Structure 1
């Protein structure tokens, strides 16, 4: 890659990935309002979020392969336009099935802006610059997730959630155009070696699969808590407005600090200790969220973010340190399990919430936390 202003590249990556992640969680804080407008049950309305995650899970591996065969610019262009176009459909439709179909289409093409750009950076940048620019990528996933929640339930009135979809569609188009015009073409010459490991060969290695399952279990808990918390806080004894509930999502920004900190802990103390510590924090957080107390909710939600990002950073770090080749495909599988776990968590907890309310969500989440806890307890004792 020729001399290039890396700050400019960081900003483009940050903007594009932030816009992509804003689309994912845009509907989360306004689910009660969407439910009321379309007259459907809680399990049904949860598909406004889980359909996106399912689409991402299905499309992640294909886009991971496609970016090895095609230039990045047309992939980003098509992906960005499809995500934005489907977002406009969500804003304009009066049919709930059409809204869910459009959200699923968004999920199918969001990997064109996330998985593809990560693979592009991996094969474009020299090693000494890769970690710096990827730092912008990780920060963008956190702030994009926060931005989607704030856009949907705070920047626009909850009754006008459709305007949030329109604004996000415009943002997606703008960042897509900037990236298509500004991203440099990758050079085939570089320090990165093409892996011959297949997805099947990676899945046959149980030490790696453990980290994939860890990602699925922890994200199932995290996504379910954030998805159904608005319903919990809208009911007695809280009776919160959508705007008040959305303000709590500011704790999500903790991921910017916790993820790199957990990575350093994992190197210093070992992935075993870090995974166990993060899982125990998650367990405590879920117990606090069961209490009918404002302080318990604030502290519990903050602890959910701290525990999740601790587990997530430790698992993905341990995965990459255990690899000698196949990093790209292994990380694609990690992301696949991650989002399948989120989709399953949201879907199953939607059914539980209908029958047992918030207690059902907390009960299943407590069981799911046992997955990363078990992975941590069975991890090697020395740093890995």
Structure 2
């Protein structure tokens, strides 16, 4: 097994982190463009969000398929081929003119982007020892946030500089093409992978086993619900900040997502924090920080909004890193499937959050948005307490 600090650990962690960076670079490139797309195509804020929600939905629904393909053909092969296809679709999207065509391409791109997230944690779980896995997951998720930041910031800058959303897809596609060969070169071939051919009913049995495990189901709900409100608060805030009195152009809306940098920090230290205070406690701390960040948004000035997003980002990625590692530590079989189920819940939350928050936004604007966020965080805080009790009950020795 690969150990922390070894040459193989460095290569594999860097390759997976760079690949993850490219996934989220491409996934979130339309996030700061939503007001521009709504204006250019004369559509509503909810409809324009389908360029993001459609991509995350495609990713969510393809995760299980990619996980099963990875079980049969290998993690490395699935990760590399799907990532190459997703990058090609960014270049193709720069050529389309119809909004419906753009949404279709984004859904297909999301399906291909699922390949790496569906299998990366399983790759680490098979190749790394426990300590190496915990450390690598934190770095890997930090790369997720960096990719999300870069996609949004570059997406906004390119659209603002060239006054065209086409420039965003072209520029990010070119950057991805240049970086992809480095992922191929760095990622080691697996040594501990054993191909498996799914027999009839095997997937159903494996799914049933994971979905009957409360230690996994609790983490799935927490990850999905937290992301439901965290991601989509940014979507509605771009519309708030693009209107008067702020009137920020796309390049400045992209800069809004630099607040994710606090999440990058949180992900990178999550492993050490979990070892010190316990994963259950750290999960609750992350949710509490998200709730505090939501309250700060009510200041309704740019300074309060940025401060609230910094706090919320730190809390969200702390909780996300903790929940992701939790799944890896509490599963003994079908690791790729277990990790994929977490990500299915996670990205379904991303896709559905716009619909959930829309009535809060329409009726109450920013205060309504914050109310919708806090209601969900009350639920996930309760789930985290329930999860801790389930683990304590399972770990309790049987009386003789």
TM-aligned CA distance change 1:250 to 1:124, over 3 Å: same
TM-aligned CA distance change 1:91 to 1:348, over 3 Å: farther
The Cα of 1:110 is off from its aligned counterpart by 0.4
1:54 aligns with 2:62: no
1:35 aligns with 2:35: no
Alignment match, 1:332: 340
The Cα of 1:37 is off from its aligned counterpart by 0.9
TM-aligned CA distance change 1:53 to 1:222, over 3 Å: same
The partner residue of 1:186 within 190, 212, 232 is 190
**Map of 1:1-384 to 2, 5 A cutoff?**
6-72=9-75, 74-125=77-128, 129-131=132-134, 133-154=136-157, 156-157=159-160, 159-188=163-192, 198-350=206-358, 352-354=360-362, 356-380=364-388
The Cα of 1:297 is off from its aligned counterpart by 0.9
* Inter-partner Cα distance in structure 1 for 2:87 and 2:50: 19
* Inter-partner Cα distance in structure 1 for 2:279 and 2:78: 36
* Inter-partner Cα distance in structure 2 for 1:378 and 1:293: 36
Contact 2:138 2:321 (C-alpha < 8 Å) held by counterparts: no
* Inter-partner Cα distance in structure 2 for 1:326 and 1:284: 37
Alignment match, 2:198: none
SS of alignment partner, residue 376 of structure 2: helix
* Inter-partner Cα distance in structure 1 for 2:13 and 2:192: 21
* Inter-partner Cα distance in structure 2 for 1:90 and 1:118: 29
* Inter-partner Cα distance in structure 2 for 1:139 and 1:258: 8
SS of alignment partner, residue 40 of structure 1: coil
The Cα of 1:97 is off from its aligned counterpart by 0.6
The Cα of 1:178 is off from its aligned counterpart by 3.6
The Cα of 1:58 is off from its aligned counterpart by 0.4
- TM-score normalised according to structure 2 size: 0.84
Contact 1:13 1:136 (C-alpha < 8 Å) held by counterparts: no
The Cα of 1:39 is off from its aligned counterpart by 1.1
Worse overlay, 158-167 or 312-321: 312-321
SS of alignment partner, residue 238 of structure 1: coil
* Inter-partner Cα distance in structure 2 for 1:286 and 1:27: 23
- TM-score normalised according to structure 1 size: 0.88
Computed over aligned residues only, the root mean square deviation of the Cα atoms, in angstroms, reads 3.0
TM-aligned CA distance change 1:324 to 1:78, over 3 Å: closer
* Inter-partner Cα distance in structure 2 for 1:322 and 1:189: 19
SS of alignment partner, residue 92 of structure 1: coil
SS of alignment partner, residue 69 of structure 1: helix
The Cα of 1:265 is off from its aligned counterpart by 3.4
* Inter-partner Cα distance in structure 1 for 2:36 and 2:207: 41
SS of alignment partner, residue 23 of structure 1: helix
